[in-house]
Amino acid sequence: MLEMGADQVDEAVAECAALLRSVADRDWEVPAGSLEWTVRCTVEHVADDLIAYAGQLTGRATSRYVGFGITLEDGLSNEDAAGVVTATGGLLSAVVRTTPPGVRGWHPFAYGAGDRTGFAGMGVAEVLLHTYDIACGLGAERWRPPGRLSQSLLAHLFPHVQPGP
């Protein structure tokens, strides 16, 4: 099993960015798979989560989210929106690499606080799950998350879930 860390964030973000760039010429105002959000809103959500997780750790948040977020600029091209995901993923990755062990940041689903490996895992989960939503919404259903990364993620965040089809 791989530990969740910066390398796994980088891998997930690279997968997402590659898919986004491969479909940059398509209409991103369609629903992202079964979500009510459009593809563009989902891309914005992924970037927002990545920067928020970095902020939780660097801000040493203890009781609520650090109060900032990402909004894609009006008129930003789809290609450039993919770059925002790459940039925010890089920020989370850098924070995970440099945050000392034991430092925690607040998150409602991490029993009130998560450490750097927890936020790395949550970032990987958001990226992979929503990349799949985006792929389905844009007719790229053949995209699948890397198997080993997915298995490691499940083992890290959901150890009670047994791998299988």
State the pLDDT confidence band at 88, using cuts at 50, 70 and 90: very high
**161 confidence band (pLDDT: 50, 70, 90):** confident
pLDDT at 67 over 90: no
22 HSE (CA, 13 A, CB side): 15
The better pLDDT of the pair 11, 159 is held by 11
Q: What is residue 110's predicted lDDT score, i.e. its pLDDT?
A: 61
- pLDDT score for 164: 66
16 — alpha (psi -120 to 50), left (phi > 0) or beta? Answer: alpha
Per-residue pLDDT, averaged over 52-70, amounts to: 91
What sign for the dihedral angle of Cα 14, 8, 132, 104? Answer: negative
Residue 38, pLDDT above cutoff 90: yes
Average pLDDT over residues 13-27: 97
Mean pLDDT, rounded, of the chain = 92
Structural domains in the chain plus CATH codes? 6-157 (1.20.120.450)
